[in-house]
Amino acid sequence: MNTFLLAIIGIPALEIYLFIKVGSQIGALNTILLIFLTAFFGIYYAKHEGFNNLKSGMTQMVKNELPVYEIISGAALAFAAFLLILPGFATDLIGLLIIFPPTRKLIFKRVSTKQNFNNKKNNQDYINGEFEDLDDDNR
């Protein structure tokens, strides 16, 4: 909960800071145009990558394989498109990093190894419990 609250407060503050810094260097109108330009090209590239992802998923299904990576990648692309729609330079940077396939694979690899480590640590091959042996005479 604290991380979520920090993100809600921190991300807009970072974006405002970046708007002020960039606006003081290139001007307010150019900053606004740059925001719209990054959103437009980001959405266009997200659409392009989404179609490539869909094509790859169809290829996996034709091979009779489950397109797990493509499903996760599609969700990540939708999140990246959302970040690109939000006005701001930091969210645009994060969105663009998610859209590009090499960085997306690195992020997935890092998250999946972290998840696998946690699952291995908590996974046990036995179940704790108590039992009582009932004889036929006591029933």
Percent of the chain surpassing pLDDT 90: 25
Assigned domain for 91 exists:
yes
pLDDT tens-place string over residues 49-70: 889 889 999 998 999 888 888 8
Whether residue 116 has pLDDT greater than 90 = no
DSSP string, the chain: -HHHHHHHHHHHHHHHHHHHHHHHHH-HHHHHHHHHHHHHHHHHHHHHHHHHHHHHHHHHHHTT---HHHHHHHHHHHHHHHHHHSS-HHHHHHHHHHHSHHHHHHHHHHHHHHHHHHHHHH--SS------PPPSTT-
Q: What's the chain's average pLDDT?
A: 84
**Total number of domains constituting the chain:** 1
> Quick check: is 50 in a domain?
yes
Q: Is residue 2 part of a domain?
A: no
Domain assignment present for 49: yes
Domain for residue 3, yes or no? no
Q: Is 53 inside a domain boundary?
A: yes
| Structure confidence at residue 117 as a pLDDT band (50, 70, 90) | very low
